[in-house]
Structure 1
Amino acid sequence: MNQPLAYVHPEAKIAQNVVIEPFVTIHKNVEIGEGTWIGSNAVIMEGARIGQNCKIFPGAVVSSIPQDLKFAGEVTTTHIGDNTVIREYVTVSRGTIDKMKTVIGKNCLVMAYAHVAHDCMVGDNCIIGNSVQMAGHVEVGDFAIVSAATLVHQFAKIGAHAFVSGGSLVLKDVPPFVKAAREPLSYAGINSIGMRRRGYVSEQINEIQHVYRLLFMNGLNNSQALDKIEVELSPSRERDEIINFVRNSGRGIIKGYFAKDAS
């Protein structure tokens, strides 16, 4: 770790086998776990909590002060899970008084030039594409994929195992297990390929497809569709996850492609 061309604050807590390349800057109140690599010109700012075996590529800035005028200097953190890769020039802001932290989970890939703003909660095994711009307070479920150049509105939620196509504008919540595409962003089927890769069997996939047919393609409003889903389908983890997501959506969910009003 003793890289003479890097600056490491004496109060930073760095595991013994962390590799710090030349011209890295690491501020105080930082913790970095074993096996992590920090590339040249990366800046790790106050409040960073970086797990084991992560890779932080050159030019990335982790745990910068939030781009929020309400931020009053409160002591907050940024958490990066084990085995996560942060590529070139990614920026991750630390939390505000709302959640007090920003979180990117384990085994994630955040591609170059992406921005993850204050108080975002990104789950495990997610892929955030190149130049994705994620506003504050966004939530992304496990195994979700947000493709390149997508813009995500503040407080929006993207469910687990969802796939958002490149260049999308996410103004409404994207439920779990779906593919979201087109303009305006709409339901474009379920993410069956992704689910099969993760061990979902045909029975589970067919059930999820049935749920979304009732929700998006049956001419019902959301409340009517959820009531019908609960009557027609037996409780299951996937069914209940979708129902709870839709019921708890703060911004409302995306529309079905066949909806008359897709705005």
Structure 2
Amino acid sequence: MQQIHPTAVIEDGAVLGKNVKIGPFCMVGPKVTLGDEVELVSHVVIAGRTSIGARTKIFPFACLGQAPQDQKYAGEDTLLEIGVDNKIREHATMHPGTVGGGGVTRVGNNGLFMAGTHVGHDCLVGDNVILANNATLAGHVEIQDFVIIGGLSAVIQWRRVGAHAIIGGLTGVEFDVIPYGSVLGDRARLAGLNLIGLKRRNFPRDEIHALRGAYKAVFNGEEGTLRSRAEAAQEQYAQFNGVQTMTSFMLDGEDRRFCTPRKTGE
């Protein structure tokens, strides 16, 4: 049974699933689709062609689906797709895609987007992602599964953050972050692997040891280029899925730049 507060505004055309709860002073636009058991606590605005998956809970003053912050945007009918079982906290914003970026912003399942977070146009956000308070993603950013982004951090446009990586608070991410990496700093520098996260997610001990060996070979090695060392590590640790994930991420494209460890004296 739907529960809709009398002060909420639901425009004609909106599609509401079963057992949806819409609290006081919410606004739902005519092209919005809410899945089963979605809850809008209060003062939530959902606009544009936006779909929200089942059991997602959205807290006061979140604003989803408004026009992207892109000066080239001219009102095209682009998409914002949000998966199931997400928690979107107070004052969070998420924008739809643009024609030049593929036309869709896609957010996965089981994410936590804390107060003041922002997902810009054409972003692709995976499953089980956490953005802490006021973390922001510029346009065209790819965030893979199980990434954690600390408070007041920002990822600039067109960058990728690999699966299971963690970004410390107050960090500006200018380059791609490898899967399983840990970065921090006012301009992000690689500080090692996200070992705590790997252990919490029950990665096997031999997989973690292989990742540590590959990390040292790639980032602490002195011979060859970063790319050639990644290629060598991929071959050396061919039987370990984690290493293959990390090195494949690094070898995807010729012109990528990556967060690297801080050099002695920097």
Instruction: Tell me the TM-score normalised to structure 1 length.
Output: 0.95
Q: For 2:111, which of 108, 113, 125 is the aligned residue?
A: 108
C-alpha deviation, 1:81, in angstroms: 1.0
Secondary structure of the residue aligned to 1:64 is coil
Which whole-Å deviations, capped at 9, do the CAs of 1:143-198 have from their partners, x for residues lacking one?
A: 00000000110011111000000000000000000111234311111111111111
**Partner letter of residue 95 of structure 1?**
G
Mapping of residues 94-173 of structure 1, within 5 Å: 94-97=96-99, 98-173=101-176
Is residue 172–residue 185 contact of structure 2 (8 Å, CA) maintained in 1?
Answer: no
Secondary structure of the residue aligned to 1:5 is coil
Query: What's the counterpart of residue 31 of structure 1?
Result: 33
Secondary structure of the residue aligned to 1:228 is helix
Question: Is 1:67–2:69 an aligned residue pair?
Answer: yes
Query: What's the counterpart of residue 17 of structure 1?
Result: 19
Structure 1 runs of 4+ aligned residues shifted over 6 Å read: none
Which whole-Å deviations, capped at 9, do the CAs of 1:17-36 have from their partners, x for residues lacking one?
A: 11000100000111101111
Structure 1 residues 2 and 233: alpha-carbon distance in aligned structure 2, compared to 1, 3 A threshold: closer
Mapped partners of 2:35, 2:155: distance in 1: 30
**Partner letter of residue 263 of structure 2?**
F
Q: For 2:5, which of 3, 6, 18 is the aligned residue?
A: 3
Secondary structure of the residue aligned to 2:65 is strand
Is residue 142–residue 160 contact of structure 2 (8 Å, CA) maintained in 1?
Answer: yes
Mapped partners of 2:50, 2:185: distance in 1: 37
Secondary structure of the residue aligned to 1:102 is strand
C-alpha deviation, 1:203, in angstroms: 0.6
C-alpha deviation, 1:259, in angstroms: 6.8
Q: For 2:206, which of 196, 203, 213 is the aligned residue?
A: 203
Mapped partners of 1:159, 1:57: distance in 2: 28
227-236 or 41-50, which deviates more: 227-236
Secondary structure of the residue aligned to 1:203 is helix
Secondary structure of the residue aligned to 1:189 is strand
Mapped partners of 1:89, 1:15: distance in 2: 24
Q: For 1:228, which of 232, 236, 239 is the aligned residue?
A: 232
C-alpha deviation, 1:224, in angstroms: 2.3
C-alpha deviation, 1:251, in angstroms: 4.1
Is residue 217–residue 258 contact of structure 1 (8 Å, CA) maintained in 2?
Answer: no
Secondary structure of the residue aligned to 1:65 is coil
Mapped partners of 1:49, 1:82: distance in 2: 10
Over the aligned positions, Cα root-mean-square deviation in angstroms equals 1.5
C-alpha deviation, 1:106, in angstroms: 0.3
Instruction: Tell me the TM-score normalised to structure 2 length.
Output: 0.94
Mapped partners of 1:182, 1:46: distance in 2: 36
Is residue 207–residue 240 contact of structure 2 (8 Å, CA) maintained in 1?
Answer: no
Which whole-Å deviations, capped at 9, do the CAs of 1:175-229 have from their partners, x for residues lacking one?
A: 0001112343111111111111112011111111111111111124212212321
Mapped partners of 1:169, 1:32: distance in 2: 34
C-alpha deviation, 1:60, in angstroms: 0.3
Mapped partners of 1:52, 1:45: distance in 2: 18
Count of residues in Structure 1 that have an aligned counterpart in Structure 2:
261
Secondary structure of the residue aligned to 2:246 is helix
